[in-house]
Amino acid sequence: MAPPSLLLGPPEFRKPKPIAAATQTQWTDPFVDLMAANYNDSAKAPIIAPPMGFTENRSATFLSSGNPCVDFFFHVVPSTPASYFNQQLPLAWAHDDLTTLKLICNLRGVRGTGKSDKEGFYTAAFWLHKHHPKTLACNVASLAEFGYFKDLPEILYRLLQGEDVRKTQKAEWSMRKGGACRIGRRGRRGLNHLRPPYRGGVAPCGGSVSPSPPYYGGGFAPPAPYGGGPYGLRPPFGGGLRSSSSAVKGRRSSNRKGDVQSREARIKRAMERAQLEKEKASSLRREKKSSMAQKALGRYQRDPDFRFLYERVSDLFAECLKSDIENFNSNQYKKITLAAKWCPSIDSSFDRATLLCESIARKVFPRESYPEYEGVEDAYYAYRVRDRLRKDVLVPLRKVLELPEVYIGANQWGSIPYNRVASVAMKFYKEKFLKHDEERFKKYLEDVKAGKSTIAAGALLPHEIIESLNHGDGGQVAELQWKRMVDDMLKQGKMNNCLAVCDVSGSMKGTPMEVSVALGLLVSELSEEPWKGKVITFSARPELHLIQGGDLMSKCEFVRTMEWDGNTNFQKVFDLLLQVAVKGRLKPEHMIKRIFVFSDMEFDQASTNRWETDYQTIQRKYNEKGYGNAIPQIVFWNLRHSLSTPVPCTQPGVALLSGYSKNLMKLFLDNDGEVRPDSVMEQALSGEEYQKLLVLD
CA-based end-to-end distance of the chain? 18
* pLDDT computed for residue 38 by the predictor: 52
pTM higher than the cut 0.85: no
Q: How far apart are CA 152 and CA 158, in angstroms?
A: 10
Mean pLDDT of the chain: 82
Going by C-alpha positions, the residue among 196, 11, 209, 224 that lies closest to residue 102 is 11
Tens-place pLDDT, residues 99-113? 999 999 999 999 888
Q: How far is CA 543 from CA 536, 573, 574, 600, 682, in A?
A: 6, 8, 11, 20, 35
* pLDDT computed for residue 264 by the predictor: 84
For residue 601, count other CB atoms closer than 10 A to its CB.
Answer: 27
DSSP state of 587: -
Residues of the chain with pLDDT under 70: 1-48, 57, 179-261, 564-568, 605-608
CB contact burial 392-421 (16+ within 10 A = b; e otherwise): ebbeebbeebebbebbbeeeebeebebeeb
User: Per residue, what are the HEC states of 299-316?
Assistant: HHHHCHHHHHHHHHHHHH
* pLDDT computed for residue 199 by the predictor: 37
Q: How far apart are CA 265 and CA 245, in angstroms?
A: 30
Phi, psi of 355 (to 5 degrees): 60, 30
**Domain map of the chain by residue range?**
78-166, 304-409, 413-485, 495-646
**Within 13 A of 558's CA, how many CA atoms are on the CB side?**
18
User: What are the start-end ranges of the H helices in 472-529?
Assistant: 476-490, 511-526
Going by C-alpha positions, the residue among 386, 387, 385, 422 that lies closest to residue 401 is 422
CB 397 within 8 A of CB 389: no
* pLDDT computed for residue 289 by the predictor: 84
CB contact burial 509-535 (16+ within 10 A = b; e otherwise): eebbbbbbbbbbbbbbbbbeeebbbbb
Handedness of CA 157, 158, 162, 166 (dihedral sign): positive
**Within 13 A of 113's CA, how many CA atoms are on the CB side?**
22
Instruction: Give CATH superfamily name and number for 495-646.
Output: von Willebrand factor, type A domain (3.40.50.410)
* pLDDT computed for residue 131 by the predictor: 97
